[in-house]
């Protein structure tokens, strides 16, 4: 399975679940980045990006199988330089739970 998820340049080696449920590379990011996430359930999931002031900046809907890793290529052009928080939410049996956070710096 590790071969199916190509590792972006500068990404640490090893399986994701030994480190974090959520990561982004490069960090800091300019315009394009790769978000790597781990889903533990087979329900729906959401990834949200918040500014330091708490405003929702971007949101993505995710699907996966239990205990699966995924990669999401994102375009962040138009996002102001600063610090942001990525939050990963999983929904199972109608209940949504935040399962991971990751801090990202955007620079120009």
Q: What is the CATH number of the domain that holds 64?
A: 2.60.40.4070
pTM for this prediction: 0.78
Which residue, 92, 101, 77, 78, is CA-closest to 44?
92
In a domain, 5, yes or no: no
Q: How far is CA 48 from CA 8, 23, 100, 101, in A?
A: 21, 13, 11, 10
pLDDT tens, position by position, 44-101: 899 999 999 999 999 999 987 778 888 999 999 999 999 999 999 998 788 888 989 9
Q: How many separate domains does the chain show? A: 1
In a domain, 10, yes or no: no
Distance CA 77, CA 90 (A): 27
pLDDT for 3 equals: 39
In a domain, 88, yes or no: yes
Q: Are 93 and 18 in contact (CB under 8 A)?
A: no
Q: Quick check: helix, strand or coil at residue 8? A: coil
Distance CA 79, CA 107 (A): 9
| pLDDT reading at 10 higher than 50 | no
pLDDT for 18 equals: 43
Full residue range of the structural domain in which residue 66 is found: 25-106
| pLDDT reading at 19 higher than 50 | no
In a domain, 41, yes or no: yes
pLDDT for 20 equals: 62
């Amino acid at each position: 399975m590790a071969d199916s998820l190509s590792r972006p340049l500068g990404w640490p080696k090893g399986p994701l679940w030994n480190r974090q449920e959520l990561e982004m590379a490069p960090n800091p990011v300019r315009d394009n980045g790769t978000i790597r996430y781990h889903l533990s359930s087979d329900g729906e999931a959401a990834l949200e990006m918040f500014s330091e002031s708490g405003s929702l900046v971007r949101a993505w809907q995710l699907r996966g199988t239990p205990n699966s890793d995924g990669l999401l290529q994102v375009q962040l052009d138009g996002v102001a330089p600063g610090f942001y928080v990525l939050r990963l939410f999983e929904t199972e049996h109608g209940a949504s739970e935040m399962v991971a956070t990751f801090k990202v710096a955007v620079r120009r």
